[in-house]
Amino acid sequence: MKKSLLAMVAALSLGLGGGAQAADTVKIGLMAPLTGSWASEGQGMKKIVELLAEQQNAKGGVLGKPIEVIVEDDGGDPRTASLAAQRLTTKGVAAVVGTYGSSVTEASQAIYDEAGIPQIANGSTAIRLTEKGYQKFFRTAPRDDEQGRMAAQTIEKLGFKKVAILHDSTSYAKGLADEANALLKKKGVEVVFFDALTPKESDYTAILTKLKGANPDVVLFTGYYPEAGLLLKQKKGMNWNVPFIGGDATNNADLVKIAGKAAEGFYFLSPPQPQDLDTPDAKAFLADYQKKYNELPPSIWAVLAGDGFRVAVAGIEGAKSADGAKSAGYLHKDLKNFPGLSGSIAFDAKGDREGEVYRLYKVDADGNFVMQKK
């Protein structure tokens, strides 16, 4: 037995090998939560990036070489992410797409930066990620402060006077809630409730009962779609007809699946969905995705990973080099009005996405997400 154990340890140390082999491909890394709580996002990211790589390769790849996508699981956890990042750096990737959670991305930023690899995050909206001066960090996701501004604006425009804000204590939702809270108070809108629910539970009636006691005109929920779906459903079960506004993490097809009819009238903010863009790229992509996987992309975040991949390819093509510094330089300076799946893309000096990205959506009686006029 002991011998077999030792054999296992030996196998372990060997198996961790498999260093960089010099093949004639351009490697693009994808760091995504394939396991753990955000596995559904991570698997969506993987599907989209693999599909796009396939299509790009059919068109001849990049720099005349086929693209090889190397996917590493970050488990939605900072420590695993730092290992995934180290692993990708040893595989000679030209750029990395990902990842979803802000603190998970943060744990990997320095590693890619020191290795000279451009990183394009897709779901990480925390403000500080682009405030550190990393020259090769980009994100296709908008920042929390922009969304906070948009949320406050929307609430004011729709004429609500008493707002309840509910988040879920994740850094994303808390950040957005704080941002919106400060702006609303400045605008003179009364915030009658501010607290956090515990994600991943099934019964939120206790919280809804308390919310109802505060008697708001509208509830701003900054957390994620599973909880949003349950809140809507259980709110309806209580016969309470207050409108809900959600942040972009509620933009997920499963929201309507969970809430059913109760989703009708729900507002949320989000970058435009591919089906609402009239660019041929977005339309073709959506059709191909449905054809290949027989479903819609799980969320806008997965689509933004697709945009990250396209931008990475554009950077390499534009710079005519797989060198990280060159392609990052191209993305900063020369990439303008790039037709992304989520609208036009350009990056500012910090690596943030330029332009106003957010739109207001409303769920109609059939459960469709309908983009509202600006």
Partner 1 sequence: MNRLTLSVVALVVAVLPFAPLFLNTYQVDVLNSIGLYALLALSLNLILGEAGLFDMGHAAFYAMGAYTAAILNTHYQIPILWTLPLSGLAAGAFALLVARPVIHLRGDYLMIVTIGVGEIVRIALVNDVFGITGGANGIFGISRPKLFGWVIRRPEEFFYLIWGFVALTIFLFLRLKQSRFGRALNYLREDEVAAEGSGIDTDAYKLAAFGLGAAWAGMAGTLFAAKMTIISPESFSFWESVMLFMIVILGGAGSVLGVLLAAFLVIGLPELFRELAGARMLVFGLVMMVMMVVRPQGLWPAQTPRISLAALTGARKP
Partner 2 sequence: MPASGISPISPIHSASPLVEEFLQQLTNGLAVGGIYALIALGYTMVYGVLKLINFAHGDLFTYGAYLGLTLLTSLALTDRLGFALGVLVLVLMVMGLVAVLGAILERAAYRPLRESPRLSAVVSALGASIFLQNTLMLIYGARFQVYPDDILPTATLNVLGLYVPLMRVLIVLASVGMMVALYLFIQKTRIGAAIRAAAIDQGAARLMGIDVNRVILLVFLLGPALGGVAGLMVGLYYGQVNFTMGWVYGMKAFTAAILGGIGNIPGAMVGGLLLGVIEALGAAYVSIAWKDAIAFVVLILILIVRPTGLLGERVADKI
Give the interface with partner 1 as residue ranges (CB under 8 A).
Answer: 1-3, 5-6, 8-9, 11-12, 15-17, 19, 34-35, 39, 43, 46, 71-73, 76-80, 82-83, 86-87, 89-90, 102-103, 106-107, 110, 126, 128, 169-171, 174-175, 196
| Smallest distance from partner 2 to CB 259, Å | 8
Q: Which is nearer to partner 2, 43 or 275 (CB)?
A: 43
How far does Cα 300 stand from its chain's mean position? 7
Please say whether the dihedral angle defined by the alpha carbons of residues 33, 34, 39 and 44, taken in this order, is positive or negative.
positive
Q: Which amino acid is at 177?
A: A
260 lies in the site for partner 2, by CB under 8 A: yes
| Smallest distance from partner 1 to CB 46, Å | 8
Q: Which amino acid is at 308?
A: G
Phi, psi dihedral angles at 331 (to 5 degrees): -60, -40
Enumerate residues 7-26 that contact partner 2 by CB under 8 A: none
| Smallest distance from partner 2 to CB 39, Å | 4
215 lies in the site for partner 2, by CB under 8 A: yes
317 lies in the site for partner 2, by CB under 8 A: no
Enumerate residues 36-55 that contact partner 2 by CB under 8 A: 37, 39-40, 42-43
| Smallest distance from partner 1 to CB 168, Å | 9
Q: Which is nearer to partner 1, 170 or 251 (CB)?
A: 170
Residue numbers at the binding site for partner 2 (CB under 8 A): 35, 37, 39-40, 42-43, 169, 191-198, 200-203, 205-207, 209-210, 213-215, 226, 229-230, 233, 237-239, 254, 257-258, 260-261, 298
